[in-house]
Amino acid sequence: EGLNMKSSEYTAIVVGSGVAGLYAALKLSELKNAKQNILVITKSGIKDSNSRYAQGGIVSVMSENPTDSVKLHVQDTLKSGAGLSDPSVVEFISKNSEKVIKDLLKHGVKFDRNDNGELCFTKEGAHSVRRILHAGGDATGLFIEQALADDVLAKNNINVLEGTIVTELLLDKNGVCCGVIAFDDEEGEYQTFYSNAVILATGGCGQLYKYTTNPSVTTGDGMAVAYRAGAVMQDMEFFQFHPTAFKAKTEENMFLISEAVRGEGAKLTDENGNTFMEKYDERLELASRDIVSRAIFNEMRINNVPNVYLNATVIPKDKLNKRFPTILETCRKNGVDPENQFIPVSPAAHYMMGGVKASVTGVTSIKNLYVIGETACTGLHGANRLASNSLLECAVTGYEIAELLKDENFDEVIADDNDEKIAETIAVYEKPLDEKSVDFKVLREKLRDTMWQYVGIIRNEQNLEHAKKEVEKIEEAFGYADKCPNKEAFELRNMIVIAKLVIDFAIRRKESRGGHFREDYTGKHEPARHYTRTKNTDKYEEIYVK
Ligand code: SIN
């Protein structure tokens, strides 16, 4: 381990193998000016990502869907974003949706079609029309991911490095990103990879919460390494809780019951089948996610029950089976038959709206560092993401990063061998580690409990301050600041970094807006503004929305 780290150079390094990362890698590999290979680094297998669990679908404003338009989609997205979505970003992503979907079709993604061969569109919460494409019924993310992964593996100018976690970005003395340090957990070895284009696409951080629809890999790694390197972070207080996760632990995390089930007519009820959404919003089951999650949470609290129910028996049986095969199978495996029984559901952490501040082409505050997908905060989602806009953002930003780099001169020198700043960063990872006896699993669970209890769906000052102290204690018990003994520890290091940011941003925002609900500030609104901050300053910058 350590000394004489192996080192190699690439035209571009993509970190993460979800839809954003794989699609970016594919598009970059097609660039004529790409002189060397593209490297994809992923900490588990190429097909393990949060994208693969995305059920409902991907938004697309298609000319063949006459009820829809960019204008309508922009309107719905801005409304859901509660004043914090950037209209020009929303419009850009919406306008580019058809182009990107057509390209995904060329890459072999088989979106569901009706008997006439036309694409099927479904509906989810807060969408005014049917505009969501799906694949395999309720396995959209998996289908896109598989098609892209197959294409990536078939390309001879893309190298895929699995089981390897990026632990630090390499910035030179001018603050330019020149590459990454990565750790191979199995070999216990560090390597450096150099490139003029480092693209982080590591997804979100649902694992911060005890109950989440996200898989175990979602530990905020990209956000944490970017923040540690000095990138500007934005909107970290805005976490989306999905209203309906299956109330039984399936493997490690909670299984999602897609919003599309409500889109097709399922009702939220108590155990006797009484509906309650009429008390909360005239859009009923299809109100925006924050409203439905809080309504369920409230019902659970006042009735002192661990869950509510989703009545999908109202959906015709043939439709239910055709549209939601994965959901039906998983429910049945867990003893619930949705054709005849209500599905027990409760809200769970689902999506980070904030992240590394980035443009729609991935540009960040650090030169040559690009961030796309859930890791980024482009301004599309604002305070509350509209369902199925996230896979669309992954696809559009994955496509646009290659457009941006198509005129780049990749001949330029990648990094100066004698740069003292790079040498300093590498030296940290070459030092022998002073190993302590720490139970990372116990600390991780403690962190997730704390976040769920005190930084969850309903927040207040006292709870947030309490969480802050608890996380500081966890950080102290953890004891590692940079180099860690293994992947599990690196993940925890990253989760602590991000948890502290979420808490601090949540304390800072003294209002309720979108996914951030403060019971101590329910009525009052601040002027619409984002908060951003970097590691090097404790101060928040404020960006007012025009
Ligand atoms: C779902 O299928 O309900 C998830 C869709 C999303 O999170 O956008």
Model pLDDT for residues 356-371, shown as the tens digit of each residue: 999 999 999 999 999 9
Q: What per-residue confidence (pLDDT) applies to 539?
A: 80
Query: Which residue's CA lies nearest to atom 7 of ligand 1?
Result: 387
**Ligand 1 site, residue 94, Cβ cutoff 6 A:** no
259 Cβ inside 6 Å of ligand 1: yes
Tracing tokens 């940011």 back to the chain, one arrives at: 501
Distance from the alpha carbon of residue 211 to the mean position of ligand 1, in angstroms: 16
Distance CA 50, CA 350 (A): 10
Q: Which amino acid is located at 258 in the chain?
A: S
- The values of phi and psi at residue 530, to 5°, are -95, 155
Ligand 1 atom nearest residue 257's Cα: 3
Q: What mean pLDDT, rounded, does the chain reach?
A: 95
Report the C-alpha gap between 339 and 329 in whole angstroms: 11
Average confidence (pLDDT) over 176-187: 96
Residue 233 φ/ψ, nearest 5 degrees: -105, 145
pLDDT at res. 428: 96
CA 531 to ligand 1 centroid distance, Å:
26
Handedness of CA 46, 50, 56, 58 (dihedral sign): negative
Closest CA to 372 of 6, 3, 17: 17
CA atoms lying within 13 Å on the CB side of residue 41: 27
Task: Kindly tell me if the per-residue pLDDT of 189 is higher than 80.
Answer: yes
* pLDDT, position 537: 80
Which tokens in the block code for residue 369?
A: 């560092």
387 lines ligand 1 (CB under 6 A): yes
pLDDT at 249: 60
Separation CA 212–CA 479 (nearest Å): 26
For the cut 80, the answer to whether the pLDDT of residue 127 exceeds it is: yes
pLDDT on residue 253 = 79
Find all residues with CB under 8 Å of 413, minimum gap 6, and list them: none
Indicate whether residue 264 lines ligand 1 (CB < 6 A).
no
Alpha carbon 256 to chain centroid distance? 15
- Ligand 1 mean position, distance from CA 258 (Å): 6
Which pLDDT does position 1 carry in this prediction? 39
- Expressed in angstroms and rounded, the spacing between residue 256 Cα and the centre of ligand 1 is 8
CA distance 160 to 359: 26
Query: 282 vs 126, 278, 387, CA distance in Å?
Result: 11, 6, 18
Cα 425 to averaged position of ligand 1 atoms, centre (Å): 39
Taking residues 156-184, report their average pLDDT: 97
The whole-number average pLDDT for the span 230-251 is: 90
SS3 of residue 182 by DSSP: strand
| In the predicted structure, residue 251 carries a pLDDT above the cut 60 | no
Q: Is 240 in the pocket of ligand 1 (CB under 6 A)?
A: no
Other Cβ atoms within 10 Å of 527 Cβ, number: 9
pLDDT at 342: 97
Q: Say yes or no: CB of residue 55 within 6 Å of ligand 1.
A: yes
The preferred substitution site among 112, 214, 259 for testing ligand 1, maximizing ligand atoms within 8 Å of CB, is 259
Q: What is the dihedral of CA 81, 85, 88, 92, to 10 degrees?
A: -60
- What's the CA gap between 341 and 175, in Å, rounded? 58
Q: Which atom of ligand 1 is nearest to the CA of 259?
A: 3
Rounded average pLDDT over 64-72:
97
How sure is the predictor about 49, in pLDDT bands with cuts at 50, 70 and 90? confident
Contact 5, 192 (CB under 8 A): yes
User: Does ligand 1 lie within 6 Å of residue 56's CB atom?
Assistant: yes
Q: How far is the CA of 30 from the centre of ligand 1 (A)?
A: 31
**Which residue intervals of 229-342 are DSSP H helices?**
259-263, 289-303, 317-323, 325-333
Residues involved in catalysis = 289
> What pLDDT score does 2 carry?
41
In sign, the C-alpha dihedral spanning 477, 375, 410, 145 is positive
Consecutive H or E run containing 369: strand 369-371
The CA distances from residue 314 to 221, 318, 342, in Å, are 42, 12, 10
| Among the ranges given (170-184, 383-397, 530-544), the one the predictor scored with the smallest mean pLDDT | 530-544
Look up residue 414 and give its two tokens: 């990648």
Which residue among 242, 326, 381 has the greatest number of ligand 1 atoms within 8 angstroms of its CB, and so is best to mutate? 242
Which of ligand 1's atoms lies nearest the C-alpha of 391? 8
SS3 93: helix
Residue 258, ligand 1, Cβ within 6 A? yes
Please, are residues 361 and 397 in contact by the beta-carbon 8 Å criterion? yes
Tens digit of each residue's pLDDT (9 = 90 or more) over 472-493 = 999 999 999 999 999 999 999 9
Instruction: Using the mean position of ligand 1's atoms as its centre, give its distance from the Cα of residue 164 in Å.
Output: 29
Which pairing describes strands 158-161 and 308-311: parallel, antiparallel, or unpaired?
A: unpaired
Summarize the confidence of residues 40-50 as an average pLDDT. 91
Distance 324 CA to ligand 1 centre (A): 13
For residue 267, the SS3 value is strand
Whole-number pLDDT of residue 461: 98
- Residue 530: name the closest of 512, 543, 515, 516 by CA: 543
Ligand 1 pocket test, pick from 76, 131, 133, 258 with the greatest ligand atom count within 8 Å of Cβ, gives 258
The count of C-alpha atoms lying within 13 angstroms of the C-alpha of 336, restricted to the half-sphere facing its C-beta, is 21
For a pocket test of ligand 1, which of 123, 385, 388 has the largest count of ligand atoms closer than 8 A to its C-beta? 388
Comparing 416 with 420, the larger pLDDT belongs to 420
Question: For residue range 276-315, what is the model confidence (pLDDT) as tens digits?
Answer: 999 999 999 999 899 999 999 999 999 999 999 999 999 9
Q: Which atom of ligand 1 is nearest to the CA of 386?
A: 8
CB-side neighbour CA atoms (13 Å) of 231: 33
- Token duo for residue 392: 């669309």
CB 259 within 8 A of CB 243: yes
Using the mean position of ligand 1's atoms as its centre, give its distance from the Cα of residue 57 in Å.
7
Out of 44-58, 69-83, 207-221, least confident range: 44-58
CA separation for the pair 163, 46 (Å, rounded): 9
Asked whether the predicted pLDDT for residue 545 surpasses 90, the reply is: no
Pocket probe for ligand 1: among 19, 212, 256, 330, the residue whose CB has the most ligand atoms within 8 Å is 256
Distance CA 258, CA 7 (A): 44
Confidence bin at 414 (pLDDT 50/70/90): confident
Q: In 109-238, which ranges are E strands?
A: 132-133, 158-161, 164-171, 177-184, 189-194, 198-200, 233-234
List the Cα angle 190/193/198 in 5-degree steps. Answer: 125
Q: What confidence category does residue 375 fall into, taking pLDDT thresholds of 50, 70 and 90?
A: very high
With a cut of 60, say whether residue 211 has pLDDT above it.
yes
351 CB contacts (<8 Å, ≥6 apart)? 204, 206, 239, 240, 242, 374, 381, 385, 390
Strand order of the β-sheet with 189-194 is 6-9, 189-194, 177-184, 164-171
Determine the atom of ligand 1 nearest the C-alpha atom of 244. 3
pLDDT of residue 109 exceeding 90, the answer is: yes
388 lines ligand 1 (CB under 6 A): yes
Report the pLDDT value the prediction gives residue 252, as an integer from 0 to 100.
59
Cα(152) to centroid of ligand 1, in Å?
25
- Write down the pLDDT at residue 250: 57
Helices (H) and strands (E) in the chain, counts: 15, 21
Q: How far is CA 274 from the centre of its chain?
A: 34
* Phi, psi of 330, rounded to the nearest 5 degrees: -70, -40
Handedness of CA 304, 305, 311, 313 (dihedral sign): negative
Distance CA 176, CA 173 (A): 7
- pLDDT for residue 460 is more than 70: yes
